[in-house]
């Protein structure tokens, strides 16, 4: 199935005039739209939850500024995947690279934007669920500062890392949406005055694929990268273990009771994920929370003096028929690199550098917490000053 949407399209508009007037958007089916059940990509969840009576605040504010909501989009089951494959609803199309996945879990939202069905779309990002599909589909995307956009009306997954983000095909629309959704920046750091530092761990993850690291480094230098160095204060394995433990503990807090009471039907790979979640007893939560705090302090100090730049994903694309061993390695690398912004709670913007015939080239920049608006403007500046533009669709 290539459709990006759950159910039929509709036309929801509460304000004719506003800065977003004339723009169409879609909403990931993890976010409430009044009159529809928020299905979470899982039939059992849909069957055991009522129709939403109110729009989530992030939806309502977009409608009030003139945007037109036209549909709910497919999500990987309960947001627990980076692939974009849903056992029940199918795999949304990656229009530029139809042999590959769109990325998840905000798969339908990214697909709808990449297909130009909508101007922008809402997604959620916990461990990369906006950043990965933005990179795979060759579009703009953001994981904002944790807590900057209210999560009211959003199906809770791992609350300690959950964020609401969005996608857009062009940067000016991306900026307009940010002006509506984001609070005013609290960071006093002048981002344009900071050097741009490459994340060695992220570039190293590309080394196993011949020639890719050099290609991505070349583009990063066009975006004013001055140096590359290691940024992790602990071993990569420790960072991944910390992220995964805290994520699973939070998922169990949010969804464990529902799973126990309803014995939901999951797709095969998702079944394994939630079986592991239910085994998390939370006994090491304080230990890993302390690790997270120390990690965040290190990243905060680094971002007082640098903007970080990195390949958004450790592989440019995931083939629809990808080998399970390769997929497992992708997850290990992707979740580790994504943990920089996740554990620190800082914003990360995906920049769609180039859409080649073979694959997209996507780089991200990471900035200080609550510098989201300035970070988007910096991303636009770097993109424009490097004279980069999206290639025509392959």
pLDDT at 49 over 60: yes
For position 14, what pLDDT does the model report?
A: 87
In the predicted model, what is the mean pLDDT of residues 363-375?
98
Average pLDDT (370-388) is 92
Percent of the chain with pLDDT over 70: 97
What pLDDT score does 245 carry?
Answer: 98
Active-site residue, from 129, 187, 364, 371: 129
Task: Say whether pLDDT at 392 is over 60.
Answer: no
According to the model, what pLDDT value does residue 316 have?
96
Q: Which tens digits make up the pLDDT trace of 242-251?
A: 999 999 999 9
Higher pLDDT, 15 or 217: 217
pLDDT value of position 15: 87
260 is catalytic: no
pTM: 0.97
pLDDT tens, position by position, 293-328: 999 999 999 999 999 999 999 999 999 999 999 999
Catalytic choice (24, 72, 102, 105): 105
Assess whether pLDDT exceeds 50 at residue 44: yes
Q: Catalytic residue at 328?
A: no
Whole-number pLDDT of residue 386: 82
What is the C-alpha separation between 282 and 231, in angstroms, rounded? 28
Mean pLDDT calculated for residue range 30-47: 98
Q: Return the pLDDT at 385.
A: 87
Average pLDDT over residues 88-101: 97
SS3 of residue 337 by DSSP: helix
Q: What is the DSSP string of 159-213?
A: TTT-EEEEEESSHHHHHHHHHHHSPPP-----GGGS-EEEEHHHHHTTTTSTTHH
182 pLDDT above the threshold of 90: yes
Rounded to whole angstroms, the Cα distance separating 341 from 312 reads 11
Q: Annotated catalytic, 285?
A: no
Count the neighbouring beta carbons within 10 Å of the beta carbon of residue 194.
17
Among 104, 33, 46, residue whose Cα is nearest residue 75: 104
High-pLDDT (> 90) share of the chain, %: 94
């Amino acid at each position: 199935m290539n459709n990006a949407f759950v159910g039929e399209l509709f036309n929801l508009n509460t304000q004719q005039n506003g800065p977003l007037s004339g723009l169409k958007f879609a909403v990931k089916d993890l976010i409430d739209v009044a009159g529809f059940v928020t299905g979470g990509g899982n039939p059992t969840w849909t069957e055991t939850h009522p129709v939403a009576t109110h729009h989530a605040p992030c939806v309502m504010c977009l409608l009030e500024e003139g945007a037109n909501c036209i549909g709910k989009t497919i999500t990987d089951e309960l947001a627990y995947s980076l692939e974009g494959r849903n056992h029940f609803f199918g795999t949304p199309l990656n229009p530029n690279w139809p042999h590959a996945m769109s990325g998840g879990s905000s798969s339908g939202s990214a697909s709808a934007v990449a297909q130009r069905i909508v101007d922008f779309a809402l997604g959620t990002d916990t461990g990369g669920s906006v950043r990965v599909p933005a990179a795979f589909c060759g579009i703009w995307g953001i994981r904002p500062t944790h807590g900057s956009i209210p999560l009211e009306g959003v199906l809770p997954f791992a609350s300690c890392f959950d964020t609401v983000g969005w996608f857009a095909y062009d940067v000016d629309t991306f900026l307009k949406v940010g002006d509506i959704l984001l609070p005013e920046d609290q960071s006093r750091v002048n981002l344009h005055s900071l050097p741009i530092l490459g994340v060695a761990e992220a570039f190293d993850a590309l080394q196993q694929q011949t020639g890719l690291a050099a290609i991505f480094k070349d583009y990063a230098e066009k975006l004013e990268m001055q140096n590359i160095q290691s940024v992790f204060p602990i071993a990569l394995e420790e960072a991944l273990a910390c992220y995964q433990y805290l994520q699973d503990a939070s998922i169990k807090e949010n969804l464990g009771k529902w799973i126990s009471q309803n014995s939901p039907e999951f797709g095969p790979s998702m079944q394994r994920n939630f079986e592991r979640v239910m085994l998390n007893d939370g006994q090491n939560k304080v230990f890993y929370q302390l690790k997270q705090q120390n990690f965040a302090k290190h990243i905060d100090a680094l971002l007082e003096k640098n903007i970080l730049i990195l390949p958004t994903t450790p592989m440019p694309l995931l083939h629809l028929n990808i080998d399970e061993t390769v997929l497992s390695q992708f997850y290990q690398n992707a979740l580790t690199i994504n943990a920089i912004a996740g554990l620190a709670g800082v914003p990360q913007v995906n920049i769609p550098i180039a859409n080649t015939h073979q694959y997209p080239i996507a780089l991200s920049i990471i900035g200080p917490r609550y510098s989201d608006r300035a970070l988007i403007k910096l991303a636009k500046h770097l993109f424009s000053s490097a004279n980069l533009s999206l290639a025509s669709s392959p």
